[in-house]
Amino acid sequence: MQGVRIVYSSGAKFRVTWSAQTISEMSGTLGFRRAITFLKERSNRFGIKLNNTGNKISSMKITFLGTAGGRIVIMTQIRASGGFVLEMDNELIHIDPGPGALVRAKQYGVNLRKLTGVVVSHAHTDHYTDAEMVIESMAQGAMKKRGVLIGSEFAIKGGDSYRPAVSPYHLKFLDRYEILGPGNKTKIGKIEIEATPTKHGETKALGLVFRGSKTLGYAGDGEYFEGQEKHFEGCDYLVLNVLRPKNVEWPEHMNSNQAVKLIGKVRPSLAVIQHFGMKMLKAKPEREAKWIEKETGVKTIAARDGMTIDLGKGRPEGKGLEKWVK
């Protein structure tokens, strides 16, 4: 059968996986539902039983579907802007699915139909533009209620001149959705998610801490403020949106000097900077990451589009990023 991959597994059983290209091509001809029905029937004719063994999520990693920040970088797509995906404890969570998230997920091999949650930190378009289509993917082409949406008040409800990031039509495809404020907690599967405050133009914007087998902190958009580090105590990893390089400030956004303050006080095993504006790109994010690491003594890397970081290996050993980056 063209377009099908058959894998031998224990117990003389087989797992069959139709390629995304095959499904896409057939969906264009038959429609998604009829295409899936046809593929199942065709598999049965060959005596192959389709199952869900391919949906298990067992690794721990972050994949960056974009590292753009600021209007110029995003509108020109010098860097992609699809947010990032956390895979941990059998959950797959898409965080801040901005412009192009759907396309970048395909480009970088992330299957959005396996998502179990979507998180929108705030109601600025570079953090939610593709959220509705990502939700449709999570809901298997809007064929079933599935997954969880978590977001700030303005991202879910709108307000203060912001419209809701997700329509009521898309909300009905979810198992549930929740609005969080600073200090609020919820769960997706076994992962506890706690919202943290930010200092940003979108006044309901959130940072987030994801606690599972490992603890990941995401500061979201905003400049450093005194005491911010308390909200990220105990984080193994810290992802920061660092718009500008050292000694170049922009109100309500973080630069490298502020990143040094936060990273130096939290002291995670690894810090990752992303969400780069044009001035940061000109200054070279990799150089800024090295400077931050020198100032703090904390391993720091600059994310790249499509980069995957393995969260299951503890502190890096030896030289290079081989233990972190696939």
pLDDT of 70-87, one tens digit each?
Answer: 999 999 999 999 999 999
Per the listing, tokens 């058959």 go with: 6
Burial of 133 (0-12, 13-18, 19+ CB in 10 A): middle
Q: Given pLDDT bands bounded at 50, 70 and 90, which one contains residue 2?
A: very low
176 part of a folded domain: yes
Residue 281 structure tokens: 């790109």
Per the model's pLDDT, the better-predicted residue between 42 and 148 turns out to be: 148
Q: What is the mean pLDDT of residues 148-176?
A: 97
pLDDT greater than 90 at residue 164? yes
Helices in the chain by DSSP H: which ranges? 20-30, 32-45, 71-76, 101-107, 131-138, 153-157, 168-171, 256-266, 278-283, 285-296
Judged on CB neighbours under 10 Å (0-12, 13-18, 19+), 279 is middle
* pLDDT, tens digit (0-9, with 9 covering 90-100), for 123-137: 999 999 999 999 999
Residues 176 and 266: their CA atoms lie apart, in Å, by 32
Residue 216 belongs to domain with CATH number: 3.60.15.10
Judge if 49 and 76 occupy the same domain.
no
pLDDT at 232 over 60: yes
On whether both 11 and 137 belong to a single domain, the answer is no
**Position 312 confidence tier, pLDDT thresholds 50, 70, 90:** confident
- The whole-model pTM stands at 0.81
Residue 316 belongs to some domain of the structure: no
Specify whether 41 is located in the same domain as 79: no
Beta bridge partners, 119, equal 95, 150
Domain interval for residue 176: 61-310
Q: Please tell me what DSSP assigns to residue 129.
A: T
pLDDT in tens, 12-62: 333 444 445 555 555 555 666 666 666 566 555 444 343 343 445 557 899
- Taking 70 as the threshold, does the pLDDT of residue 105 lie above it? yes
Per-chain mean pLDDT for the chain: 86
- My answer on whether 256 and 157 are in the same domain is yes
Same domain, 168 and 306: yes
Specify if 323 maps to a domain. Answer: no
For residues 78 and 120, membership in a common domain is answered with: yes
pLDDT band at 252 (very low <50, low <70, confident <90, very high): very high
Q: How many alpha carbons lie under 13 Å from residue 141 in its C-beta half-sphere?
A: 9
Using an 8 Å Cβ cutoff, are 175 and 187 in contact? no
pLDDT of residue 10: 35
277's CB contacts (< 8 A; 6+ apart) are 69, 70, 72, 73, 243, 244, 250, 253
